């Protein structure tokens, strides 16, 4: 089949869904500038007419549909520069369409977007990949073995629990993350959990829906202002949480042995050197630490027992940090008055565990980073990281295994 070169209105441009949305508006937007062989005419996407009208009328340069590959919308390249010689990036999981568009708009880059890691021909798609962008796909030795040309893996987000970093390092493959993209979204989510627990939003809302205008237990609510919060981890998210807490008039203490005390003091917050002393004094403890051997299971029975009676635990970091059985016991005994979590040890949740029986628990399904703005930034930065690394121009702070680039 010869390459399709017709204008968009004829339906000759290949399209494909990039985020798996089911909503009509979002679905239409997500199918802009796609690839993978699913062809749609402009008439099929009425909600996107305004955006389509801004598309240059230059012909596309797309490979055969059978190859599931689309090249950037550019005038023909010199004969010496073939598709084979261009950096090839595979986006395994659905991401925001702006990130896909950034790749398609880049000169000299070829892109493939299977849509999910279960694609039957994923191995064939990976064989020429030099860059790989993943969101929820497990990157292990088996997957890496299917990509002999791979140079960089970009994780859409900051956590990389699902990535075998030693296996990548052994092959000399860099792992990059999007460290700034979701920080604001996660920080706001942490504050939302604090407020929801402080004002007992869920049980009060449920009472009103039952017709109870005067809900019992309203006196159990409290203000954040004047309360002491202990922030564990003073990275990009922890620093933002500190600023938001301070804006609410909270007394902010920070425990982070890897952060210079002067940096914490300079930001206007109390340095908490002894973690257990900080736990005993804090009304709210919020976790902003990465998953590692050192942090795995750190919030255990002893940790929770050290917390102030009636305190609240917030976890928007990683589910592996918390011993869920110990948290269940602390809530059941009343030692903790509440907990707000966005993450669990096993995700996706496979069964309704005992934690969900507590009215004092507010839980969300790992969506803290998934605001419209956060998803857009993560996809944009993921695309930029992949292209930048392959071009030799990248932010070293976004590289996890820096030994491969030294």
177/200 same-domain check: no
215/101 same-domain check: no
Instruction: Look at residue 15 and give its three-state secondary structure.
Output: strand
Question: Is 275 a residue of the active site?
Answer: no
191/159 same-domain check: no
355/253 same-domain check: yes
pLDDT at position 342 is 98
pLDDT at position 406 is 75
pTM: predicted TM-score of the whole model, two decimal places: 0.77
How would you list the strands of the sheet with 228-232, edge to edge?
270-271, 251-255, 228-232, 284-287, 311-315, 336-341, 361-363
pLDDT at position 350 is 87
Q: Is residue 1 part of a domain?
A: no
DSSP states of 18-55: SS---SHHHHHHHTTT--SSEE--GGG-GGGHHHHHTS
208/305 same-domain check: yes
Question: Is 335 a residue of the active site?
Answer: no
Determine which helix (DSSP H) or strand (DSSP E) holds 70, and give its type and residue range: strand 70-71
75/217 same-domain check: no
| Alpha carbons within 13 A on the beta-carbon side of 202 | 16
Q: Taking a C-beta distance cutoff of 8 angstroms, is the pair 104, 73 a contact? A: yes
Dihedral pair phi/psi, residue 179, rounded to 5°:
-65, -30
pLDDT at position 86 is 84
Question: Which is nearest to 338 in space by CA: 198, 231, 238, 241?
Answer: 198
216/304 same-domain check: yes
DSSP 295: T
Is the backbone of residue 268 left (phi > 0), alpha (psi -120 to 50) or beta?
left
pLDDT in tens, the chain (406 residues): 443 333 333 333 333 333 333 333 333 333 333 333 232 222 233 333 233 223 333 333 333 333 333 333 333 344 344 445 689 999 999 999 999 999 999 998 999 987 665 666 788 889 999 999 999 899 999 999 999 999 999 999 998 989 999 999 999 999 999 999 999 999 999 999 999 999 999 988 998 999 999 877 667 899 999 999 999 999 999 999 999 999 999 999 999 999 999 999 999 999 999 999 999 999 999 999 999 999 999 999 999 999 999 999 999 999 999 999 999 999 999 999 999 999 999 998 988 889 999 999 999 999 999 999 999 999 999 999 999 999 999 999 999 999 999 7
Question: Is 347 a residue of the active site?
Answer: yes
Question: Which is nearest to 83 in space by CA: 68, 67, 71?
Answer: 71
194/131 same-domain check: no
Strands in 263-375 per DSSP E? 270-271, 284-287, 311-315, 336-341, 361-363
24/130 same-domain check: yes
Q: Given the residues 318, 335, 358, 402, select the one marked as catalytic.
A: 318
Q: Given the residues 347, 377, 393, 406, select the one marked as catalytic.
A: 347
Q: Is residue 377 part of a domain?
A: yes
27/106 same-domain check: yes
The domain containing residue 200 runs over which residues?
183-363
| Alpha carbons within 13 A on the beta-carbon side of 203 | 18
**CATH code of 287's domain:** 3.40.50.720
Question: Which is nearest to 282 in space by CA: 260, 313, 322, 256?
Answer: 313
339/380 same-domain check: no
Q: Given the residues 366, 373, 377, 393, select the one marked as catalytic.
A: 366
To the nearest 10 degrees (0 to 180), the angle between helices 183-198 and 201-209 is 60
pLDDT at position 218 is 63
Number of domains in the chain: 2
């Amino acid at each position: 089949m010869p390459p399709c070169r017709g204008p968009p209105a004829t339906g000759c441009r290949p399209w494909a869904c990039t985020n798996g949305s089911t909503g009509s508006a979002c679905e239409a937007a997500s199918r802009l500038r796609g690839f993978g062989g699913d062809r749609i005419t402009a008439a099929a996407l009425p909600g996107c007419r305004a955006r389509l009208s801004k598309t240059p009328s230059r012909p596309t340069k797309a490979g055969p549909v059978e190859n599931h590959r689309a090249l950037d919308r550019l005038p023909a390249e010199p004969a010496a520069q073939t598709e084979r010689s261009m950096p090839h990036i595979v986006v395994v999981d659905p991401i925001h369409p702006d990130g896909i568009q950034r790749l398609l708009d880049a000169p000299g880059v070829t892109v493939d977007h299977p849509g999910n890691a279960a694609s039957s021909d994923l191995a064939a798609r990976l064989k020429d990949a030099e860059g790989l962008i993943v969101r929820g796909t497990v990157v292990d030795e088996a997957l890496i073995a299917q990509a002999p040309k791979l140079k960089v893996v970009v994780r859409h987000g900051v956590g990389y629990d699902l990535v075998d970093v030693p296996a990548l390092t052994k092959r000399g493959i860099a792992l990059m993350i999007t460290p700034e993209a979701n920080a604001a979204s996660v920080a706001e989510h942490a504050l939302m959990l604090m407020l929801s627990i402080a004002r007992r939003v869920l049980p009060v809302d449920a009472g009103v829906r039952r017709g109870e205008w005067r809900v019992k237990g309203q006196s159990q609510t409290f203000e954040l202002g004047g309360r002491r919060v202990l922030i564990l981890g003073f990275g990009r998210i922890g620093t933002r949480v500190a600023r938001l807490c301070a804006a609410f008039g909270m007394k902010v203490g920070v425990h982070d042995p890897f952060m210079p005390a002067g940096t914490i003091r300079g930001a206007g917050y109390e340095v908490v050197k002894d973690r257990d002393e900080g736990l005993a004094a804090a009304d709210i403890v919020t976790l902003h630490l990465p998953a590692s051997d050192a942090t795995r299971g750190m919030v255990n029975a002893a940790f929770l027992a050290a917390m102030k009676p009636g305190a609240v635990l917030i976890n928007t970091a990683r589910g592996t940090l918390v011993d869920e059985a110990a948290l269940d016991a602390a809530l059941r005994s009343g030692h903790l008055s509440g907990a707000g979590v966005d993450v669990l040890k096993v995700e996706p949740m496979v069964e309704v565990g005992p934690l969900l029986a507590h009215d004092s628990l507010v839980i969300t399904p790992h969506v803290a980073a998934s605001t419209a703005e956060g998803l857009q930034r993560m996809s944009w930065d993921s695309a930029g990281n992949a292209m930048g690394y392959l071009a030799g121009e990248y932010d070293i702070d976004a590289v996890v295994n820096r030994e491969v680039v030294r």
